[in-house]
A = this chain, B = another copy of it.
Amino acid sequence: MSQVLPAEGGLRRIIGDGESRPDGEVEGLGPEQLLALFRDLVLLRTYDERSVIYHRQGRIGTYAIFWNHEAMQAGSVFALEERDWVFPSYRDSAIGLLRGMPASTVLSWWRGHPAGWWNPEDYNVASICVPIATQIPHAVGFAWGSRLKGEDRVAIVNFGDGATSEGSFHEGATFAGVMKAPVVLFCNNNQWAISTPLSAQTAAPTLADKAIGYGMPGLRVDGGDVLAVYEATREAVARARAGDGPTFIEAVTYRVAPHATADDPSLYIDEERAREERENECVGRYERYLRRLGVLTEEQAAAIRAEALELMRVGIAQAEAEPPADVSLVFEHAYANPPPTLAIDLDELRRILG
């Protein structure tokens, strides 16, 4: 029976508020790494803000905004080795950028173009998962299977608060505990599932309280504090690597943007609470921390932003330069050995399309 710490009550924090609450530090993170983390945050933030604009311009389709989720994405991935795998939810569509995936790839996904479908093995990033919570068993199976093969690979799976209500979460977490899979179940608790508040999702005191039911530790961290997210994930990854099994991390934040470009949160969200959160959004919070620490200058920050913007300019240009997809792609890749009917269907389709 695995040793279980009771889930934490308070939220782990490192970054102070510049006033009463003092700044902390993460052992082992030097200036370069602190800057690298800032670069990651800016990259994701820029991707997100540009995407909303591209959507308005009709250059990409519906888009799931992740503004103010960057600290959870960047902080958790920063705690991984390159060989570790990430299993993103649709909310984490751009997480591959942190692994060197071109922006054009993710933009193409949102443009409904085949160039948006990558080979997970190229980045150790699984496909964007649209059905809520269903990627959790995938991550668990991958982690368990890697361990069986004697490979030192950890998997992290990102999902939301709403996802914890799905049977897929439960069955994935159950397997993770039993198989002692080296996996991190990373929950972004932004307190909303589209228009459904956490209070309508579960009666559990905290989401981390679910962890003990799977025999794994449950950590709670401020999801807007990239350093706290990093440190908690690092701890979970170390536990996984040591063969001590899975960890559930609840990162608490608040969704301040619409669920997606098609959504109108004014119908349900607490604007007051959202305004507060916006003023304390995760990228600015970290930037102010670095300034206080004297690790980041105006110029560096500006340069990093410019770099990210440039990357997006290139990205959208490349995405828009993609040649139209050939109809053969309707049939290709569905099977390694397709049933004979598919080739006949393609021929007929070509004949009709002329």
Question: Which residue numbers of A lie inside 8 Å of B, CB to CB?
Answer: 1-2, 4, 165-171, 174, 177-178, 180, 199-205, 209-216, 245
**Distance A168 CA – B203 CA, assembled complex (angstroms):** 17
Q: How many copies does the complex hold?
A: 2
Collect the chain B residues with CB atoms within 8 Å of residue A215's CB: 202-205
Query: A202 contacts which of B167, B174, B180, B203 (Cβ < 8 Å)?
Result: B174
Given contacts A209-B212, A212-B213, contact A1 B203 (CB under 8 A): yes
B212→A204 contact, CB < 8 A = yes
**Distance A170 CA – B170 CA, assembled complex (angstroms):** 6
B169→A203 contact, CB < 8 A = no
A171→B178 contact, CB < 8 A = no
B203→A245 contact, CB < 8 A = yes
The A interface is mostly helix, strand or loop, or mixed, namely: helix
Most chain B beta-carbon neighbours within 10 Å: one of A165, A174, A180, A199: A174
Given contacts A170-B170, A209-B213, A210-B213, contact A177 B204 (CB under 8 A): yes
A167→B165 contact, CB < 8 A = no
A168→B171 contact, CB < 8 A = no
**Distance A214 CA – B202 CA, assembled complex (angstroms):** 6
**Distance A177 CA – B210 CA, assembled complex (angstroms):** 13
A2→B203 contact, CB < 8 A = yes
Q: Across chains A and B, which 7 residue pairs bring their CB atoms closest together, nearest first?
A: A167-B167, A203-B215, A177-B203, A170-B170, A210-B213, A213-B213, A204-B215
Collect the chain B residues with CB atoms within 8 Å of residue A211's CB: 213
